[in-house]
Amino acid sequence: MSIIGKYPYTRLRRLRAKDFSRRLVQEATLHSKDLIYPIFIMEGEKKSESVASLPGVDRVSLDRLPSVAEECLKLGIPAVALFPYIERNLKTDDGRESWNDNGLIPKAIKLLKRNYPELGLITDAALDPYTTHGQDGLVNEHGEILNDETIEVLVNQALCYANAGADVIAPSDMMDGRIGKIRDALESSNLKNTLILAYSAKFASSFYGPFRDAVGSTNTLGVKGKETYQLDFCNSKEALREVGLDIEEGADMVMVKPGMPYLDIVKAVTEKYEIPTFVYQVSGEYAMLKAAFANRWLVEEKTVIEVLTGFKRAGASAILTYFALDAARSIQSAA
Ligand code: PBG
């Protein structure tokens, strides 16, 4: 009879008995270099606006960006993702403010690149903050989202942000074929080193609500959904097809979004493809946890590290999270 795996020869608790051995055998670990901090920006000066559904995350005016950037760099966070709060009078059906060279995002990119060139800048390619209807793409008179016409606008937007100095363009629109078209445009515009982070497995989710509050698209979108372009949450094979296509079209990194309810997708993507896979712990996941912390139903610091480490264990190489600063601080103080 084999003794392998049999009590008392095998006692897994031996390794767990002391702190030194627990630490030595840790598999996935979370570092501040794994984190990306999303920032909501708006016009104006000396302004911070709280967002009720995102406690602890403010929209900030451009002049407040440098202090956020400095904090990220101090904590070892490699990159930030910039999202705009666009004034209602600049929103149009075609979202043309999205490729205004003097718009909010290009101004933010230039400001940050000038002062903090080492901080990675990620910007979304999608129209929802800029459109009167709150959809990520162009809409025809029947309410259909137009794929190919949308891509032309996304290409303008991607070139606008890349020209302003964005390091990473992150198409979050889920139109078919947009990665290839954006890659083509970057190549032929002498922007061949601009990275593309494809929101490849982006599900039509109820967890985006607080984000839509933060960018001001909750009212413009109304009760309409995004099911005709974002993935059905019942499907994982289709998510893998999306990832495969985006890799073929020239993505440098891919993303799964949301995070916590989609860890199986993170795992499946990282097992199947040899490409860095990012995960977005989205606004609703953050809001849900914050509500539990506020009620003292969960203990904040340890819970945040546990959840974020779960993404690493599933195979993610980086995590977009509104907890980035808090998590980096607790990692730093534990070191
Ligand atoms: C826009 C976009 C969304 C998010 C990131 N980019 C919302 C959406 O698709 O409706 C969600 C991020 C979050 O919820 O934190 N295309």
Residues involved in catalysis? 202, 257
Distance CA 335, CA 331 (A): 6
175 Cβ inside 6 Å of ligand 1:
no
- pTM of the prediction? 0.97
* DSSP string covering 204-235: --GGGHHHHHHHT-HHHHTT---TTTSBPTT-
128 Cβ inside 6 Å of ligand 1:
yes
For the CA of 173, the closest atom of ligand 1 is: 16
CB 236 within 8 A of CB 268: yes
Tell me 144's DSSP state: P
Q: Which amino acid is at 54?
A: L
In this structure, the residue with its CA closest to atom 2 of ligand 1 is 172
In this structure, the residue with its CA closest to atom 5 of ligand 1 is 172
For the CA of 202, the closest atom of ligand 1 is: 9
Please give the pLDDT value at position 220.
87
Peptide bond into 38 cis (omega under 30): no
Regions of the chain where pLDDT drops below 50: none
* DSSP string covering 70-82: HHHHHHT--EEEE
| pLDDT tens-digit series, residues 280-318 | 999 999 999 999 999 999 999 999 999 999 999 999 999
Q: What share of the chain is helix, strand, coil (3-state, %, to 5)?
A: 45, 20, 35
136 Cβ inside 6 Å of ligand 1:
yes
| pLDDT tens-digit series, residues 95-116 | 999 999 999 999 999 999 999 9
Phi first, then psi: what are they for 33, rounded to 5°? Answer: -70, -10
User: 25: CA distance to ligand 1 center in Å?
Assistant: 37
User: 297: CA distance to ligand 1 center in Å?
Assistant: 27
Choose the residue to mutate in 213, 282, 283 for probing ligand 1, maximizing ligand atoms within 8 Å of C-beta. 282
208 Cβ inside 6 Å of ligand 1:
yes
The CATH code for residues 29-334 is 3.20.20.70
Hey, where are the domains in the chain? 29-334
User: 279: CA distance to ligand 1 center in Å?
Assistant: 13
